[in-house]
Chain A
Amino acid sequence: GIQVEQSPPDLILQEGANSTLRCNFSDSVNNLQWFHQNPWGQLINLFYIPSGTKQNGRLSATTVATERYSLLYISSSQTTDSGVYFCAVDLSGSARQLTFGSGTQLTVLP
């Protein structure tokens, strides 16, 4: 099956710093999503980005499908950005199955 690898596994930042999270995948994909999981377990949709670049406030993402990777940029980080960031991809047919990476645990210190 498809492999999804995220790096780094853990990241500690000072408030105000910028960061880049990476997601590599082993096959071509129909869909790629980035999520933020808060401390209570809720997965919050950040981006639906099978290709190209999108921006939403301090967050932006880029997927280069031909090279099988996606990047999530967080600028001017805040303590509320802490949590686990997941990348998930699917390459299936009519019933979309997301395969998740292991996540990046981000801690933003005040």
Chain B
Amino acid sequence: ETGVTQTPRHLVMGMTNKKSLKCEQHLGHNAMYWYKQSAKKPLELMFVYNFKEQTENNSVPSRFSPECPNSSHLFLHLHTLQPEDSALYLCASSQLGSYNEQFFGPGTRLTVL
């Protein structure tokens, strides 16, 4: 247990569906992140939230829409995805400052049909 939880753990969706991924951290951190891990590729940063404000969007398509209602919760809303969006989506959190170790959730394995 890292103190970061993600639901669901597995998700299968069609290209016309709308779904949401949820992340919750119990570590009292003030920054949260979404990463994407595709097969045979390194983890890629998608979004960064710092004190609930989005500070980074690494050229992610608009079919991925993040939401951070408070510093403990992070969502990733999905709509009209493509099969190439199938991947492991990982959430992380950290406490910004001089010591900024990131802790990861178990991930949501997404399959787009």
What count of chain A residues pass the 8 Å CB interface test?
Answer: 25
Q: Which residues of A contact B33 (CB under 8 A)?
A: 98
Q: Which of B55, B92, B100 contacts A30 (CB 8 A)?
A: B100
Instruction: Judge whether B31 is part of the interface by a CB distance below 8 angstroms.
Output: yes
A41→B106 contact, CB < 8 A: yes
Instruction: Judge whether A102 is part of the interface by a CB distance below 8 angstroms.
Output: yes
Instruction: Judge whether B88 is part of the interface by a CB distance below 8 angstroms.
Output: yes
How far apart are the CA atoms of A75 and B92 in the complex, in Å? Answer: 29
A41→B109 contact, CB < 8 A: yes
| Residue of chain A at shortest CB distance from B43 | A100
Q: 7 A-B contacts, Cβ less than 8 Å apart?
A: A41-B37, A44-B2, A94-B96, A95-B55, A95-B56, A98-B102, A100-B44
Q: Which residues of B come within 8 Å of A, CB atoms? A: 2, 31, 33, 37, 41-45, 48, 50, 55-56, 88, 90, 92, 94, 96, 99-104, 106-107, 109
Given A45-B101, A96-B102, output 14 extra A-B contacts at Cβ < 8 Å.
A31-B100, A41-B88, A48-B99, A88-B43, A88-B102, A94-B96, A95-B50, A96-B94, A96-B96, A96-B100, A97-B48, A98-B92, A100-B42, A102-B42
